[in-house]
Amino acid sequence: MEEFDLVVRGGTVVTPADTMRADVGVRGGRIVALAASLPASLAGSGRVVDAGGLLVLPGGVDSHCHIEQLEANGTVHEERFATASASAFAGGTTSAICFASQFRGHPIGPTLDAYRLRARAAMMDYSFHQIITDTTPETLAELPRLVASGIRSFKVFLTYDPLHVDDAQFLQVLVAAKRLGAMVAVHCENYAAITFMTRALIEAGLAAPKYHAWSRPPVVEREATHRAIALAELVDQPIQVFHVSCAEVAEEIARARARGLKVWGETCPQYLTLTAADMDRPGFEGAKFMCSPPPRDEGEHARIWTMIQGGVLDVISSDHCGYSFGGNTGKAQNGREAPFRDIPNGIPGLAARLPIVFSEGVAKGRISENQFVSLVATNPARLYGLAAKGRIAIGADADIVLWDPKRQVRLTSALMQHAIDYTPYEGMEVTGWPVATIRRGEVVMENGTIRAAPGSGRFLARGPYPEATPRGVVANGFDPAFDPALAPGPAA
């Protein structure tokens, strides 16, 4: 038998189904052996990592990250691919899916090409969701090339200027995705309702950060989720609902799944730990906690956990979208007296994701170690066609995290190793922490020190996969995605 490049020895391997004492053998960046004890002779000159007393987990897969994202006004998100990678490794994540922009009225191609160049600085492995903001014939004609290049998911916003699409445009995206075998991810909030509430609040003099939550209460998220599911059902297209903030939204997903629809739900650590009251801090401080949908009340945390435990919400991502608090850019780019409408939405969370979910979930007895692995690694990889990621199994990429389940840590911005100057989780105590992160067999983080080289990350091209495949059920047998031009000609 050939020698291994790396052996992880003496740890407890955790998969979605099993927890077992096992050694892991790595060769060529992949897992090639799992055994109760691998012979020392097979380590050869390769490195042996002692995992005694630690959990051996698959590297985290974060399927929702805004990294170095290009904006229509010419700005670029502060978090760069290099800093995001360091933050990911520090928190036990090895792969991420981030967002390639499309600017309304402009083609996708040039912006995507520029974004690919930026992503070459990544140390983590990465893929893209393609944002779609308009559905002109020219835009739709670009999508087959994107999918052929390995971008197999589209993101649409049902709110936000200048990103939102209306129902007719959303249907066009759904149909295009169905024809191409792509997943659709949806930000579900009602654009008209939020616009109406925002105008009314500001006219009433209620403009502080805390009123951000008032402008988009659960009903606007619930209505948009119900509508998105209904339109996806109409054309038989699988979707994932992003960043579910409350149980009444998750209930819409539960009802859809009970009908057999291919609808999935994601939530984030902010909806398990933060509340709307965090935005009611003195002065501009509340801006640190502004994201959309906003955190709800404290009682919602338990209700979201119930939906996680029941499998309705089966992915926990970070929705990392950082804007620094200090200076005159970031959160304060429109001034510290700006109404909530003009304060950028988003919070950083790449490194905090796994520690918070483990601490709030496993350490507090809400979920098992196996469920934790599913939520932060296996399920997001499966849902987005990353077949080699998110699992510890023969043939999978050797993305591994050595995890100390008992280590207690107080979160600070410095520990996050991101480009943003704060963390909304500052001072939070967590139980469970990554000791080392391994990406494709290379130790890229040890005890908080990043050891990877910039540019060593790889783009993850995605091919066809089951979750993105329609059910084959349409109303009255009529498929609005059917294109006569693609039908076979008459028999000879």
Q: Which DSSP state fits 320?
A: B
CATH number where 371 lies: 3.20.20.140
In Å, how far from its chain's centre is CA 253?
A: 18
Give the sheet arrangement for strand 183-187, strand by strand. Answer: 60-65, 93-100, 125-131, 153-157, 183-187, 239-241, 263-267, 313-316
> What is the domain extent for residue 131?
59-388
Among candidate residues 354, 413, 321, the one with its CA nearest the CA of residue 95: 354
Query: 143 in a domain, yes or no?
Result: yes
Q: Which DSSP state fits 32?
A: E
Please return the burial class of 375, using the count of CB atoms within 10 Å of its CB with bins 0-12, 13-18 and 19+: buried
- Cα gap 331→306, rounded to integer Å: 33
How are beta strands 183-187 and 239-241 bridged, if at all?
parallel
Other residues' Cβ atoms within 10 Å of the Cβ of residue 217 = 17
Under-70 pLDDT residues of the chain:
1, 483-492
Cis before 39 (ω within 30): no
Please return the burial class of 309, using the count of CB atoms within 10 Å of its CB with bins 0-12, 13-18 and 19+: middle
Can you read off the two tokens belonging to residue 487? 């039908």
- 3-state SS assignment for residue 288: helix
Q: Which DSSP state fits 70?
A: B
The pLDDT value recorded for residue 484 is 55
Query: 210 in a domain, yes or no?
Result: yes
Distances (CA, A) of 454 to 73, 78, 84, 339, 388: 28, 17, 11, 39, 22
Distances (CA, A) of 307 to 72, 213, 304, 365, 378: 36, 22, 5, 15, 18
- 3-state SS assignment for residue 169: helix
- Cα gap 252→486, rounded to integer Å: 35
How are beta strands 55-58 and 442-446 bridged, if at all?
unpaired
DSSP letter for each residue of 219-235:
HHHHHHHHHHHHHHHHH
List of residues 6+ apart from 138 with CB closer than 8 A: 107
* Contact present, 92 and 62 (Cβ < 8 Å): no
* Contact present, 22 and 36 (Cβ < 8 Å): yes
Among candidate residues 388, 241, 409, the one with its CA nearest the CA of residue 315: 241
List of residues 6+ apart from 126 with CB closer than 8 A: 67, 81, 95, 96, 97, 98, 119, 457, 458, 459, 460
Query: 451 in a domain, yes or no?
Result: no
DSSP letter for each residue of 383-429:
HTT-TTSS--STTSB--EEEEEEEEEEE--HHHHT-SSS--TTTT-E
Query: 333 in a domain, yes or no?
Result: yes
* Contact present, 272 and 309 (Cβ < 8 Å): no
Query: 21 in a domain, yes or no?
Result: no
Q: Which residue has the tokens 């001034």?
A: 335
- Cα gap 154→431, rounded to integer Å: 36
Among candidate residues 160, 177, 207, the one with its CA nearest the CA of residue 346: 160
Query: 449 in a domain, yes or no?
Result: no
Query: 52 in a domain, yes or no?
Result: no
Other residues' Cβ atoms within 10 Å of the Cβ of residue 257 = 16
Query: 194 in a domain, yes or no?
Result: yes
Number of domains into which the chain is organized: 1
- Cα gap 398→395, rounded to integer Å: 9
